[in-house]
Amino acid sequence: MSGVVIRPGRRDAGALVTALIFVPPAVLLFTIFVILPLGEAAWFSLFNWNGLGWPHIFLGLENYARLFNNDDFQTAFINNLLIIVFSIAIQLPLGLGMALLLARRAWGAVAFRLIFFLPYVLADVAAGLIFRFIFDGNYGPVSAVVQAFGGQPLFMLASPSLAFTALIIVVVWKYFGFHMMLYIAGLQGIDRQLYEAAEIDGATAFQRFRSITIPQLAPMIKLSVFFSVIGALQLFDMVIPLTGGGPFEQTNTMVSFMYNFGITRMRVGYGSAVGVVLFIVCVTFALFYQRFLMRDE
């Protein structure tokens, strides 16, 4: 019996050559711009360092102990959790509702999609500056409306109880259009014959929504939730121009806390500890979410 020798085909050889050409540069770039900065942040977090020269005052885990005992950091962490909750509870249902209204090819639907998606295109810094004027107690339209009904000037961004509400309003306004477009893409991918068959069987609109739309949209909903959580954890560009983390550090997120207490105050070691904690939170969530909720997608 003669043996059969299996030789790699041209396609396998081409794939190997392609991998050898493109993988090493990608790995090199990933190492330089991701792995090394993360390693440096973890190293700097062990020192009392102001960012100048080379760190030499070793503190060990003292920066982390100070961090978790800091009331302002605890407030920032809770704010991140609240933004996640409000994003999932308000922003995503609002995006889904608008998607259901605008997914069909009706007159004016494309124009409304563009209108609702435009805030997402707008830079976060610009959105923060715009709403800083809108919520201004002296010149802003919100305060003007309140005064028109006989109220006192409303300084939302100066009120510890209202500033975070203002931040939530801006976040929902800014990002719900992005989730709306995700849902529209998902809705347009659903086979219309499913709805037609359900209508023939006498299913109501709610039954079609519950039994067809939601299950078919499940992958897109999971992706939307993932983007909401990661975006909320990394929220920064909008906070600084809108509230600066105030008043009394009540609207800080973890990233704005890192900026205010680490970079602006020249406590780079302390700020690096915040960055490491944020990285661990993001990676833990991403791995857990991928492992248990998106493993079949």
Tokens of 190: 């659903």
> pLDDT by residue (tens digit) across 122-164?
999 999 999 999 999 898 999 999 999 988 999 999 998 899 9
pLDDT over threshold 50, residue 81: yes
Distance CA 270, CA 64 (A): 8
Q: What is the pLDDT of residue 1?
A: 45
pLDDT at site 294: 72
Q: Please work out, in degrees rounded to the nearest 5, the angle formed at the alpha carbon of residue 169 by the alpha carbons of 144 and 166.
A: 60
Q: In whole angstroms, what is the distance from residue 195 CA to residue 75 CA?
A: 47
Query: Distance between CA atoms of 41 and 262, rounded to whole angstroms?
Result: 12
Q: pLDDT at position 172, please?
A: 94
Residues in the chain: 297
pLDDT bin (cut points 50, 70, 90) of residue 227 is very high
**Mean per-residue pLDDT of the chain:** 88
Handedness of CA 184, 187, 189, 192 (dihedral sign): negative
- Rounded to two decimals, the pTM is 0.87
Domain ranges across the chain = 45-125+157-292
Distance CA 189, CA 281 (A): 33
Reported as a pLDDT band with limits 50, 70 and 90, residue 297 is: low
Nearest to 115 by CA among 165, 204, 176: 176
Residue (of 42, 80, 51) closest to 257 by Cα position: 80
**100-127 confidence digits (pLDDT tens):** 988 877 777 888 889 999 999 999 999 9
Q: Does the N-terminal peptide bond of residue 8 adopt cis geometry, omega within 30 degrees of 0?
A: no
Contact 120, 180 (CB under 8 A): no
Q: What is the pLDDT of residue 202?
A: 86
Beta carbons of 156 and 141 less than 8 angstroms apart: no
Architecture of domain 45-125+157-292: Orthogonal Bundle (1.10)
For 31-95, give the DSSP string.
IIIIIHHHHHHHHHTTB---SSS----B-TTHHHHHHHT-HHHHHHHHHHHHHHHHIIIIIHHHH
* Whole-number pLDDT of residue 10: 59
* Calpha distance 101→287 (Å, rounded): 34
Q: Is 143 helix (H, G, I), strand (E, B) or coil?
A: helix
- State the average pLDDT over residues 210-217: 91
Contacts of 107 (CB under 8 A, 6+ apart): none
Judged on CB neighbours under 10 Å (0-12, 13-18, 19+), 186 is buried
